Chains A and B, each alone.
Chain A
Amino acid sequence: MSVADTINAIKPLHGQIVPIRTVQETRPPEDYGNAYVAEVNVKASSKVIKALDAKLPRDPSLPLNHLRRFAKRENLPASLRETLEAKGSLRTGTPTIFVLIAPPLPDVEELLDLLAPYAPDTYGATSSEEDKPVSKITLVTTTIPLQPPFNAQQATKWSETMWPVLFNPAAPRLTVAPPAQILNRAQQSIQPRAGHYLALARKVAAEAKASGRGRGVGAVVVDPEIEADIEAEAAKQGTSNLDSWMDAVLCVGGDVRFARSEAGKPSQTDLHPGISPNPACSTFDADLEGGPDLHALMRAVELVARCRREDSEHQAEMAAKPSPLSVVYADPQLSSKLSPLESYFLHQAGFPETSASNATEPITLSPKKRKHEEPNPESTAIPLDSISTDLSTQPQNETETPLPAPPPSTLATNTDPSIPVPEIEPASTSEGTTSRIRTRSQGGYLCTDLDIYISHEPCLCCSMGILLSRFRAVIFPRSGRMKSGGLASEPVIAPTPVLDDEGQEQEQEQEKGDDERLYYGLHWRKELNWRALGFEFVEEGHEDVEDEDGVVFNA
């Protein structure tokens, strides 16, 4: 079966993507502080606010807009009402209202003086009543939440136990969670084809494992802009927008943690030729693990970078100023040693017209065949030649696969009327190239605005690599959760049917999976400068977390 046939035969996973909540959402910071509650005459309420705002300082870092400034007696939490009544607040007599004095707290005596004119019984009294005993302000200390509530339930709970609180759905999300509009739009664009891309990620994973080069982890980089073009085209043609899902794939990357030679010695892959999977898969031995730069995600990122570097301007610049580090020319991430799937997709990305116009007879491309092709002079223009040979300490490996030849110019493509110009060519507007992966001069920068689909929850190192590469979103199947992962923010909670006393089935929320891990939710941390959207794919009837070979490792 050719690579193209394999891809065409891919059966998508069935299920839904769900946003990974941020750690601030799952573990809201519950900051509390002290405040005063004072009883004043209800008719004086606006004057009380004016007096307080004029005299008392405010802390701009604590807006406290979620706290109501006044509460009626019936809206006070029961315990606070009891405390106030024990301190002298009466249920009968002049109508009163309770005002909150939030931090920074003033001196109590100063506050009492400030509020004295608005005391329940004496406010508005005429001078003739001067000899009446001066009514005292009833004032107690209470605890209030300093941060806005995250949800309506929390607001209700706080209102019932501390002080009436307002819930504004937009307020907390701005800093600690993706804005709902952006999240929803991304979710809608990702959901239709996520099952396909994750199925492909699993194929890449299976290939990596079967090759003996790595563990069974695979990553797929997708350009949402091309997906949007596919959808627009499908809408125009009245066809399914799922048919050409593979056209939005920029590259795939498989794990190769066992394939790098160390100290010039044979790699773990070389030591066990033809053995699949590599025996190192069955244990977790740090010395055999290669390193995170050989993980699937890191390799996919490097393959995108490698294509971005195919830019004559950049290459000339870099050739003029070679790196003082020879190791950068030694391909430490094995990005020139491509698997059949990796090679196929890079080739496809360079020649979108073959897949766009020729879907029924896709070109078959095996790396064996490519190996004997003449390396394209432009693709080897990586400044290797410009550097003295003593710098390139690693000899060119004969199994290296050159990058796909640079795509023919649009002009050349157009001269052949039998080949329709593909609709999907985001890069075709500049420099006349039809590569799916834009070079730097075409505006391609790192992995900005791309999505990454990965068969497993990436390790902490790769999770941060996603942010540093500026991906838009990361998607992995829930069944691929890893104890060492960096993205999940809470244990899997799933309804489990249980029988109640009368033998009736009831749903009970129960934590599933391994709880002996830390949850970093690294995709969206307000502390970090870059953030990505994170989604888990929940497969239908397949919600359990699977243990890969029963071995815990960094994916």
Chain B
Amino acid sequence: MDFPTTGIQVSPAVAADPKHAYFMQQALLMGEKALECGETPVGCVLVHNDKIVGYGMNDTNRSMNGTRHAEFLAIAEVLQTYPKSILQSTDLYVTVEPCVMCASALKQYRIRSVYFGCPNDRFGGTGGVLSLHSDPSIDPAYPVYGGFFHNEAIMLLRRFYIQENEKAPNPRPKKNRELNTKFEDGDSSPATPEINTSL
């Protein structure tokens, strides 16, 4: 299977496993749903024994709570059916690198490993800004693999940020903006489009 990865973090052995492509596509579908709901398009799934046990998308606009990121909602869904302990054998697939808050939460929840799409240069907690996944702490470290469907994850964000925000105090007219669909080939870490706080 042709597996699009552009991040340098993905080792060939990890990228070769087709199941990662499948689960990341499911995370991207959640990102699409977030976009439809007017949320920052970040989606994720939690996978236990090759089965999706939790779906998440950003919920900050609906909830008016800036901390309701996709990861928290997916975990809350898992806990409706399973005890917290299964997270120790559960992997997260998320379209954008977890932010600092979620990176710490995933550690406290003892996630087994994290697979993400595009990096988060502004808030990333697993290498983007801080590296909480590997920093020593009272909770164990977890491995992180990035770059799965990197361009698709970025396109979701670009489609969100090209929209006009009617609720902004001073809406910026974006009528003349065109959706940028170009990616620089061979660039292992293209600049992430403006990722707002709702990641």
Q: Which A residues contact B (CB, under 8 angstroms)?
A: 260, 262-265, 284, 286-287, 289-293, 298, 301-302, 304-305, 308-309, 314, 318, 321, 323-328, 330, 332, 393-394, 440, 445-447, 459-462, 464-465, 467-470, 483-484, 486, 518, 520, 522, 525, 527-530, 552-554
In the complex, how many angstroms separate the beta carbon of A316 from the nearest chain B beta carbon? 13
Complex interface bits, B123-134 against A, C-beta within 8 A gives 1, otherwise 0: 101000110100
8 Å CB interface, B64-119 against A: 64-68, 72-73, 75-77, 79-85, 99-102, 104-105, 108-110
Q: Can you sample 28 A-B contacts with CB below 8 Å?
A: A263-B79, A265-B83, A286-B108, A287-B84, A293-B105, A301-B65, A302-B67, A305-B64, A308-B64, A323-B37, A327-B73, A327-B77, A328-B59, A332-B79, A394-B80, A446-B65, A461-B102, A462-B101, A464-B100, A464-B123, A470-B66, A484-B138, A518-B137, A522-B100, A527-B130, A528-B123, A529-B197, A552-B138
The chain A residue with its CB closest to the CB of B39 is A323
Interface residues of chain A: helix, strand, loop or mixed (majority)? loop
Chain A proximity of B66: nearest CB distance (Å): 4
Nearest CB to that of A318 among chain B residues? B62
- Cβ 8 A contact of B72, one of A293, A462, A467, A469: A293
Which B residues are CB-close (under 8 A) to A467?
197
CB distance from A531 to the nearest CB of B (A): 12
Whether B122 is near chain A, meaning CB under 8 Å from some CB there, is yes
Q: Which residues of B contact A (CB under 8 A)?
A: 33, 37-38, 55-57, 59, 62-68, 72-73, 75-77, 79-85, 99-102, 104-105, 108-110, 122-123, 125, 129-130, 132, 135-139, 197-198
When the two chains form their complex, are residues B105 and A263 in contact, meaning their CB atoms are under 8 A apart?
no
Selected contact of B105 from candidates A292, A304, A326, A440, CB within 8 Å? A292
The answer to whether B108 and A323 touch across the interface, beta carbons within 8 angstroms, is no
Say yes or no: B64 contacts A332, CB within 8 Å: no
- A310: nearest residue on chain B (CB-CB)? B64
| Contact A293-B135, Cβ < 8 Å, known A459-B108, A461-B104 | no
Complex CA–CA separation, A553 to B125 (angstroms): 20
Q: Is the CB of B197 within 8 A of A287?
A: no
- Given A325-B77, A465-B67, A468-B66, decide whether A263 and B82 contact each other with a Cβ distance below 8 A: yes
Of chain B, the residue at the smallest CB distance from A289 is B108
Q: Which residues of B contact A440 (CB under 8 A)?
A: 64
Which residue of the partner chain, among A263, A298, A465, A553, contacts B83 with CB atoms under 8 Å? A263
